[in-house]
Amino acid sequence: MSDARDEFDLALKPTWCPGCGDFGILSAVKDALTTLAISPHEALVVSGIGCGSKLPDYMHANGFMTLHGRPLAVATGAKLANHALHVIVVDGDGDAYGIGGNHFIHTVRRNPDITHIVEDNQIYALTKGQYSPTTPQGKVTTTSPEGAIERPVNPVALALAMGATFVARGFAGEPHHLSGLIQLAIRHPGYALVDVLQPCVVFNRAQSYDWYRQRIYKLEETGHDARDPAAAGTVAREWEERIPIGVIYAEEGVPAYEAQLPALQPGPLTARAGPSATRFEQLIARFR
Amino acid sequence: MTSDLSIRIGGDAGQGIESAGAALARAFARSGLHVFATQDYRSRIRGGHNFYQVRAAQAAVEAQRDPPEVLLAFTRETVDIHIDRLAPGAGILYDASLPVDAGALHARGLAPMPVPLTKIAADHGSRVMTNIAGLGALAGVVGFPLARIDAVLREEFAAKGPEVVRPNLAVAEAARRYAATTYPDFVHRVPRGDARPRLLLHGNHALALGAVAAGCRFIAAYPMTPATTILEYMAAIGAEEGIVAKHAEDEIAAVCMAIGAGFAGARAMTATSGGGFSLMAEALGLAGMAEVPVVIVDVQRGGPSTGLPTRTEQADLLFAIHASQGEFPRIVLAPGTVPECFEAGWRAFNLADRYQCPVIVLSDLYLAGSLVTVEPVSLDWASVEVDRGELIDGGALDPDADGYRRFAITESGISPRALPGSPAAVYAAPSDEHTEDGHITEEIHNRVAMMKKRMRKEDTALRNSIRGPARYGQESARITLVCWGSTLGAAREAAALLSADGEPAAVLHFPDLWPFPVEAATEALTSAGLAIGVEQNFTGQLAKLIRMMTGRQLDGRILAYDGRPFAPADIVQAVHRVLAGESDVHIEPGEQRLPAETEVGVNV
Ligand SMILES: Cc1ncc(C[n+]2csc(CCOP(=O)(O)OP(=O)(O)O)c2C)c(N)n1
Ligand code: SF4
């Protein structure tokens, strides 16, 4: 990790539990931005509500901690208003795939240039341990006392199915590797999902650091071709025995949503005033 | 010659009723007549009957007027449905091939005027031009120069080429000649216009134009009648004007996108109807808490739930004022006329920027969709003020200073706002309670100070920006009709009718509903005589609000929740009932009941 991340540091100490995977994610985010030479005022970190969604409060950068499930929509508006900003969304699996599921699906296929980092601890942590959309079947939680009945969402496969142009999975226990993924995601000119395996040491002890360490392997060490949709589909479905981390899929040459809007060709909306008298008169004349 | 003529055009969906009606309205407007044109989509009856009503007058008109003097009927059913709602001696133009009993119409004192519309259309063009034949025949009997209609048709069909224009004009002329020579003595003639150019548009377009003039650069919305034309208009001009118009996946996304764009610094809005506005409730509070300027237009329709999708109502007032958990400052405006929609369109953005809070504009289906002539000066670019409030240049902030306090506690409650993008103006905005520099906290002193700071913005707005009710008519009239929103037009005409009839009446209209202008309202109501609320809802929401905020109980309430707009005559009748001692008058249906099996609902 680079040491130059003080630019993003704050004196404020996170309120996360000691050992929480969110610490690793925070340091990876800061490191990625620093490595890419993006300054705090050039980035906008948007989050939802949850343990992980407190992340923008703990770093020095433009931030917006929005509503549970809504950060992608807010971030999309901000990106369309000022596409000069590097827009990053961080939220939990409940936020992203549960209450925000509809926005997730549509943001993926919309493909705005937004980096989406999901702190996937497979549990609702801030509300103290209810099952989430990614909780394994059969898991006993406070709202699934007989074990979770629904099949879990496979976020990376879902993103691929919706036409995602960049899909990666990282591990909070490997912040350096995660930083590399986040850098690629930020540089990808379109929607980029980084689903991060995030141990929650309080409400999900089953998926601990060790549990993950015994299973994860790095895709870049296997010769996986991230440009190959079929290969991506195969690794996206791997779980339990062996869990791939790294870039699962990356498609080049697809223009971002905002790059296709004629209204944005002259530059960000935020820099523009209203129409001149002449232009406005032309609009009015159509109602004669 | 009459000075005020109303024409109703009815038929099945797909018969070109709306295009014929709109063309007629535009032709009247260009001749210098004042026009009010409104469409009535009916929940589908058999083939889906609907009608269009065009009123043309020599003086300004702000409401439709019943009963009409002319009915142009494209189906036999149209005659049946409307026969009881026509003026004495009204003319009924219909296709000669329809099985209409002319003798029976005569016997009712009406003037049946069959014209072989379909045959003329087929002979001179094609059968699909029957609606154009109808327009030609209409021009013939009411004595309106066909050239005016021709000009509008030429523009309408210009894109389709001369081979489409020519037969249409031929059909119109043949039908005009037939009707004019067959019925030369029809008494209801169209008044002569003053040839002054006016604009013809509806409230949604006026509101959108106001937003454009204010420099609105972003709209995200999800289609919902009757708000959809706002998004569609912005999308249509978006590329040329540099406006992003985003059709979002749902209304939650729409309002959240607008909030994101507003946070980044673009003037941003969303537009919806009550159902969508309900979905936006939580995000309304986000804008309140994070102090993000955003404009939310709620074009009301009949509720509750899916309700009456193509009908008008004003029943979202108390919801708009209270929607979302907790307490935060908001501003609620309710324009009453098309020019007021334009003004509200730009003013809402100034208020949102000045007070850094959500601004809700309440319109309704009737105002949103009725075409009205307005003087060009009331949509004048030069009248538009752009005030971005306490927006500061982040680049001018001292980067070495202690740090930017986005939510600084001030006397006005307004904290100087720098947009994201400057090194010295970096901050994070939380939807949680937060400190002056934007960090999450539940600390008690901070909480109390922050609540006071945010709520102070409503006091500041009340002092500096919120308008009291506007009075139309004389000060100490015996009767004052108290209303809000689009009821204004019908109420003003009703007051004029009452006054002319020896019952001096005025109108008190509330253009700004929140923060409620308590002092101005109290004062205005003191000299209001008999104050009668006139509202398009069941519970008298404005009357409740007035009572809640001023303690003053209105003396009577006229309430309609049938989904149909008030006609001035409805209000006059209801006022007489109040004068006779009824305190609450609920408008009862004047139309004949339709057989249940012919009413089929539509969801829009
Ligand atoms: C509309 C709404 N519903 C419910 C909540 C309560 N709530 C807060 S966080 C949360 C779930 C958190 O889970 P996740 O998004 O996975 O984040 P984590 O806490 O696990 O990081 C819920 C249900 C809320 N804040 N807003
Ligand atoms: S509860 Fe779990 S997710 Fe939340 S801070 Fe603690 S360890 Fe992290």
Output the domain CATH number for residue B85: 3.40.920.10
Pocket perturbation via mutation, ligand 2, pick of A17, A47, A93, A95 by most ligand atoms within 8 A of CB:
A17
- Tell me whether residue B192 is in a domain: no
For residue A126, give the ligand 1 atom closest to its CA: 19
- For this complex, say whether ipTM is above 0.90: yes
CA distances from B402 to A64, B399, B425, B426 (A): 21, 8, 11, 12
Say whether A98 sits in a helix, a strand or coil: helix
- The answer to whether residues B474 and B459 belong to one domain is no
The one-letter amino acid at B320: A
A-chain residues near B197 (CB < 8 A): 288
- Tell me whether residue A171 is in a domain: yes
Best mutation target, A87, A258, A287, A288, to test chain B (most B CBs within 10 A): A287
pLDDT digits (tens, 9 = 90+) for A131-184: 999 999 999 999 999 999 999 999 999 999 999 999 999 999 999 999 999 999
Half-sphere exposure of B126 (CA within 13 A, CB side): 5
- Tell me whether residue A137 is in a domain: yes
- Tell me whether residue A179 is in a domain: yes
- The pLDDT confidence band at residue B432, using thresholds 50, 70 and 90, is very high
Nearest to B548 by CA among B522, B568, B584, B577: B522
- The answer to whether residues B401 and B453 belong to one domain is yes
- What pTM value is reported for the model? 0.97
Ligand 2 pocket: which residues have CB below 6 Å?
A 16-17, 20, 22, 51, 121, 125, 200-203
- The pLDDT confidence band at residue B552, using thresholds 50, 70 and 90, is very high
Q: Domain boundary residue among B436, B464, B492?
A: B464
Q: If contacts are CB pairs under 8 Å, which of residues 61-80 in chain B contact chain A? A: none
CA distance B572 to B579: 11
pLDDT digits (tens, 9 = 90+) for A245-288: 999 999 999 999 999 999 999 999 998 999 999 999 999 999 99
**CB distance B62 to B492 below 8 Å:** yes
CA distance B216 to A198: 41
Taking the centre of ligand 2 as the mean of its atom positions, its distance from the CA of residue A118, in whole angstroms, is: 14
pLDDT at residue A232 greater than cutoff 70: yes
**CB distance A269 to B242 below 8 Å:** yes
Say whether B45 sits in a helix, a strand or coil: coil
- The answer to whether residues B36 and B176 belong to one domain is yes
Give strand pairing partners of B558.
B534, B585
How far A52 CA lies from chain B's nearest CA (Å)? 14
Asked if the Cβ–Cβ distance from B263 to A284 is below 8 Å, we say: no
Asked if the Cβ–Cβ distance from B213 to A66 is below 8 Å, we say: no
Asked which of B41-45, B346-350, B424-428 is least confident by mean pLDDT, the reply is B41-45
Q: How far is CA A77 from the centre of its chain?
A: 16
More confidently predicted of A4 and B528: B528
Asked if the Cβ–Cβ distance from B218 to A77 is below 8 Å, we say: yes
Of B260, B427, B440, the CB nearest to A73: B260
Number of domains chain B is built from: 4
Nearest to B313 by CA among B565, B603, B575, B590: B565
Best mutation target, B200, B207, B263, to test chain A (most A CBs within 10 A): B263
Q: Which chain A residue lies closest to B259 (C-alpha atoms)?
A: A74
Asked if the Cβ–Cβ distance from B213 to A106 is below 8 Å, we say: no
DSSP notation for B402-460: S---TT---SSSPPPEE-TT-GGG--EEESS-B-TTS-B---HHHHHHHHHHHHHHHHH
Check residue A278 and give its pLDDT.
96
Output the domain CATH number for residue A220: 3.40.50.970
User: Is the beta carbon of A68 within 6 A of some atom in ligand 1?
Assistant: yes
Give strand pairing partners of A24.
none
- The answer to whether residues B376 and B419 belong to one domain is no
For B467, residues 6+ apart whose C-beta sits below 8 A from its C-beta are B511, B512, B517, B520
pLDDT at residue B595 greater than cutoff 70: no
The closest ligand to the CA of A70 turns out to be: 1
Total Cβ atoms within 10 A of residue B101: 11
CA distance B68 to B91: 9
pLDDT at residue B487 greater than cutoff 50: yes
Output the domain CATH number for residue B538: 3.40.50.920
- The answer to whether residues B157 and B249 belong to one domain is no
How far B156 CA lies from chain A's nearest CA (Å)? 12
CA angle in degrees (0–180, nearest 5) for B453-B459-B460: 85
User: What's chain A's length in residues?
Assistant: 288
- Tell me whether residue A258 is in a domain: yes
- Tell me whether residue B591 is in a domain: no
Would you state the structure tokens that stand for residue B260, as one six-digit string? Answer: 């994101």
A-chain residues near B440 (CB < 8 A): 54, 57, 65
The arithmetic mean of pLDDT across residues A172-198, rounded, is: 98
Report the mean per-residue pLDDT for chain A.
Answer: 96
- Tell me whether residue A271 is in a domain: no
Ligand 2 atom 8 nearest Cα:
A20
For B325, residues 6+ apart whose C-beta sits below 8 A from its C-beta are B282, B285
- Tell me whether residue A205 is in a domain: yes
Asked if the Cβ–Cβ distance from A64 to B282 is below 8 Å, we say: no
- The answer to whether residues B17 and B43 belong to one domain is yes
DSSP classification of residue B85: G
pLDDT digits (tens, 9 = 90+) for A91-137: 999 999 999 999 999 999 999 999 999 999 999 999 999 999 999 99
pLDDT digits (tens, 9 = 90+) for A13-42: 999 999 999 999 999 999 999 999 999 999
Check residue A277 and give its pLDDT.
96
What is the share, in percent, of chain B residues with pLDDT greater than 90? 89
Asked if the Cβ–Cβ distance from B420 to A283 is below 8 Å, we say: no
**CB distance A85 to A94 below 8 Å:** no
- The answer to whether residues B168 and B42 belong to one domain is yes
Q: Domain boundary residue among B437, B464, B491?
A: B464
User: Is the beta carbon of A175 within 6 A of some atom in ligand 1?
Assistant: no
- Tell me whether residue B500 is in a domain: yes
**CB distance B21 to B39 below 8 Å:** yes
Check residue B376 and give its pLDDT.
95
- Tell me whether residue B329 is in a domain: yes
Phi first, then psi, for residue B380 (nearest 5°) are -85, 130
Total Cβ atoms within 10 A of residue A248: 27
pLDDT at residue B358 greater than cutoff 90: yes
Check residue A172 and give its pLDDT.
98
Q: Is B575 left (phi over 0), alpha (psi -120 to 50) or beta?
A: alpha
- The answer to whether residues B306 and B423 belong to one domain is no
Would you state the structure tokens that stand for residue B154, as one six-digit string? Answer: 């030429």
- Tell me whether residue A250 is in a domain: yes
For A113, residues 6+ apart whose C-beta sits below 8 A from its C-beta are A79, A83, A87, A188, A189, A190, A191, A256, A257, A258, A259
- Tell me whether residue B403 is in a domain: yes
Say if residue B67 is preceded by a cis peptide, omega within 30 of 0: yes
Flag whether residue B236 sits within 8 Å of chain A, measured between CB atoms: no
pLDDT at residue B326 greater than cutoff 60: yes
Residue labelled with tokens 């102090």: B291
Taking the centre of ligand 2 as the mean of its atom positions, its distance from the CA of residue A26, in whole angstroms, is: 13
- Tell me whether residue B169 is in a domain: yes
Taking the centre of ligand 2 as the mean of its atom positions, its distance from the CA of residue A119, in whole angstroms, is: 11
How far B426 CA lies from chain A's nearest CA (Å)? 5
Would you state the structure tokens that stand for residue B322, as one six-digit string? Answer: 């209270």
Residue labelled with tokens 């154009």: B132
Half-sphere exposure of A222 (CA within 13 A, CB side): 17
Residue labelled with tokens 């189906």: B75
Asked if the Cβ–Cβ distance from A274 to B212 is below 8 Å, we say: yes
Say whether B362 sits in a helix, a strand or coil: strand
Q: If contacts are CB pairs under 8 Å, which of residues 420-439 in chain B contact chain A? A: 420-423, 425-432, 438-439
- Tell me whether residue A276 is in a domain: no
Total Cβ atoms within 10 A of residue B248: 25
Check residue A6 and give its pLDDT.
84
- The pLDDT confidence band at residue B473, using thresholds 50, 70 and 90, is very high
Asked if the Cβ–Cβ distance from A263 to B220 is below 8 Å, we say: no
**CB distance A53 to A92 below 8 Å:** yes
Strands (E) in B309-380, as ranges, are: 331-333, 358-364, 371-374
- Tell me whether residue B197 is in a domain: no
CA distance B290 to B253: 17
Taking the centre of ligand 2 as the mean of its atom positions, its distance from the CA of residue A210, in whole angstroms, is: 17
pLDDT digits (tens, 9 = 90+) for B90-141: 999 999 999 999 999 999 999 999 999 999 999 999 999 999 999 999 999 9
- The answer to whether residues B460 and B474 belong to one domain is no
Phi first, then psi, for residue B155 (nearest 5°) are -65, -45
pLDDT at residue B330 greater than cutoff 80: yes
The arithmetic mean of pLDDT across residues B551-564, rounded, is: 97
The arithmetic mean of pLDDT across residues B186-212, rounded, is: 96
The arithmetic mean of pLDDT across residues B203-208, rounded, is: 98
- Tell me whether residue B217 is in a domain: yes
Asked if the Cβ–Cβ distance from B238 to A266 is below 8 Å, we say: no
Phi first, then psi, for residue A66 (nearest 5°) are -100, -130
User: Is the beta carbon of A21 within 6 A of some atom in ligand 1?
Assistant: no
Give strand pairing partners of A250.
A166
Report the 3 state secondary structure along B462-518: HHHCCCCCEEECCCCCCEEEEEECCHHHHHHHHHHHHHHCCCCEEEEEECEEECCCH
Q: Which range marks the domain in which residue B435 is found?
A: 391-464
Nearest to B273 by CA among B290, B297, B254: B297
Strands B199-201 and B371-374, by their bridges, are antiparallel
- The answer to whether residues B18 and B130 belong to one domain is yes
Phi first, then psi, for residue A219 (nearest 5°) are -60, -35
Pocket perturbation via mutation, ligand 1, pick of A22, A68, A104 by most ligand atoms within 8 A of CB:
A68
For B550, residues 6+ apart whose C-beta sits below 8 A from its C-beta are B518, B521, B522, B525
Check residue A4 and give its pLDDT.
47
- The answer to whether residues B280 and B318 belong to one domain is yes
**H or E element at residue B542:** helix B541-550
Q: Which chain A residue lies closest to B381 (C-alpha atoms)?
A: A277
- The answer to whether residues B489 and B440 belong to one domain is no
Number of domains chain A is built from: 1
Best mutation target, B212, B240, B249, to test chain A (most A CBs within 10 A): B249
Half-sphere exposure of B210 (CA within 13 A, CB side): 28
Q: If contacts are CB pairs under 8 Å, which of residues 253-272 in chain B contact chain A? A: 253-254, 256-266, 268
Taking the centre of ligand 2 as the mean of its atom positions, its distance from the CA of residue A31, in whole angstroms, is: 22
Of A75, A106, A272, the CB nearest to B260: A75
Check residue B2 and give its pLDDT.
72
How far A210 CA lies from chain B's nearest CA (Å)? 33
Number of Cβ pairs closer than 8 Å across A and B? 200
The one-letter amino acid at A107: T
CA distance B127 to B64: 31
Of B242, B249, B252, the CB nearest to A263: B242
**H or E element at residue B44:** none
CA distance A71 to B255: 12
Output the domain CATH number for residue B354: 3.40.50.970
What is the share, in percent, of chain A residues with pLDDT greater than 70? 98
Say whether A91 sits in a helix, a strand or coil: strand
pLDDT digits (tens, 9 = 90+) for B450-472: 999 999 999 999 999 999 999 99
User: Is the beta carbon of A119 within 6 A of some atom in ligand 1?
Assistant: yes
